[in-house]
Homo-oligomer: A and B are copies of this chain.
Amino acid sequence: MRLAPLLLALAVTAPALAASRETRIPDAALATAAQLREQALADRTGWNVVESLTTEIGPRLAGSEADAKAVAWAQAKFKALGFDKVWIEPVTFPKWVRRSERAAVLGEHAQPLTVTALGGSPAGTVEAEIVRFADLAALEAAPAGSLAGKIAFIDYQMTSARDGSDYRNGGAIRSKGPSAAIRKGALAFLMRSAGTDNHRVAHTGITRFDEGLTPVPSASLTIPDADQLARLLQRGPVRVSLALDCGWDGEYTSHNVIGEITGRSLPKEVVVIGAHLDSWDLGTGAIDDGAGIGITMAAGHLIGQLKRAPKRTIRVIAFANEEQGLHGGKAYAAKHLGDIARHQIAAESDFGAGRIYAFNTGAPDHARKATEQIAQALAPLGIEYAPGKGSAGPDISPFAAKGLAWAWLAQDGSDYFDLHHNADDTLDKIDPAALAQNVAAYAVFAYLAAEAEGDFGSQLKE
């Protein structure tokens, strides 16, 4: 609020000022970007990176031994890809461990159920009748105490969409369902996986328990298992046993891993692209988010291979522990807050490996022209300019909330929630051609943002 009088003064003279400070991208840079785009489409670096990460490290749950291996891997990979500067920055967070999980229907229709603990769930063994709710609102509407001695079961089926929009509901059930269940007196929480597949692979993901509540064992069922419970409930009461061995176990310090291609004339100004290095433990983290690591490392590498470095520095960040609370993104924002104005713009790739279909930035009007120029350079990749749409990627969002300019490269997520946070998130699900299209888009975007004359509006919000 301290700057309000000054901003008002600027606004009065806005037309003249806007003209003088409108951000633009030089024609020479646009020509180079067109070459870069075609090179990227023919290049295998993105694929090679995600193949290496998912094969050599595999699952890399934040705080696990594989977390440390992934940090070492990322440093080595940045160096091998010719990045000029490579370093790590510490990220400390509570460590959650999964040991075992088991569930079954009891009684007349006894049979095993396939479940997975939600991240953050405590350990515990419960045998009780389940009570089904169609969605989170239905559970929240249940009378207080009505679930005493019972297991709450939210049976909401997510629908797939290119933009993954129904994760709004599926994700909310996972994050808020357990606390809602506890408030009604439930002993445990079960949910139909927040997913769109029909396989016996349960979808995990972090949950949280509201302050003052005593956490209860919380797990998700595979979609066929949820179907099964729903059918059994049509026949009468259903008792279930749930045995989870998992929980919080001290603190762990991992690292954001950062690689840079140094800018030629404004090396202290940076364009940030990145992805998160951690994954859930059930798959090998190919689409979430090995793909993003491959896409952004490859884009940085290809820019680094240009005969002439871009004007500004390209900074690629492999964020630590996105999955359990954007820990890497928060740590980066906290550490670099004072440098916010030197951050030209930032974009994260964290929505799988599907083709990018739309582009926008959250930049103010004076950077609209440059945004349009980047969109034009992306158009041959089948990417639409989508003014007014988009948001910052997860690890960018804590910094964006402070005023960092962000770009949005929207991936087709039609199959993302088939694979999200489950054992099926493996390399074979990635289409190398679609991945290369992503690399091309990130390379073009990052290069052009680095070459822009003018900024995209990053400044500290008061």
Residues of A within 8 A of B (CB): 51, 55-59, 65-66, 105, 108-112, 114, 198-201, 223-224, 227-228, 231-232, 235, 283-284, 422-424, 426-429
Is the pair B428, A55 in contact by a Cβ cutoff of 8 Å?
no
B112 touches A227 (CB 8 A): no
For this complex, 9 residue pairs linking A to B, each with C-beta atoms less than 8 Å apart, are A57-B109, A58-B228, A199-B199, A199-B200, A200-B424, A224-B424, A227-B428, A228-B284, A228-B427
Give CA–CA (A111, B70) in the complex, Å.
13
Contacts A55-B232, A110-B65; A201 near B201 (Cβ below 8 A): yes
Are B283 and A200 neighbours in the complex by a CB distance under 8 Å? yes
Q: Which residues of B contact A109 (CB under 8 A)?
A: 55-58
Could you say which residues of chain B place their CB within 8 Å of the CB of A112? 58-59
Q: Count the copies.
A: 2
Q: Closest CB-CB distance, A258 to chain B, in whole Å? A: 24
B111 touches A58 (CB 8 A): yes
Complex Cα gap A112–B426 (Å): 13
A55 neighbours in B (Cβ, 8 Å): 109, 228, 231-232, 235
Given A65-B110, A228-B284: A56 and B235 interface contact (C-beta under 8 Å) = yes
- Roughly how many angstroms separate A336 CA and B201 CA in the complex, as a whole number? 44
Contacts of A224 in B (CB 8 A): 424, 426-428
Chain B residues with Cβ below 8 Å from A201 are 199-201
Q: Output the nearest chain B residue to A108 by Cβ-Cβ distance.
A: B56
8 shortest interchain CB distances as A-B pairs? A58-B111, A200-B423, A224-B426, A55-B231, A199-B199, A198-B428, A56-B109, A200-B424
Residues of B within 8 A of A59 (CB): 111-112
How long is the Cα–Cα vector from A122 to B445 in the complex, in angstroms?
A: 57
Residue of chain B at shortest CB distance from A230: B55
> Most B CB atoms within 10 A — which of A105, A108, A112, A224?
A224
A-B contacts besides A55-B232, A58-B109, A114-B423, 14 pairs, CB < 8 Å: A51-B231, A56-B232, A57-B109, A58-B111, A66-B111, A111-B284, A198-B429, A199-B200, A200-B201, A200-B423, A200-B426, A201-B201, A227-B427, A227-B428
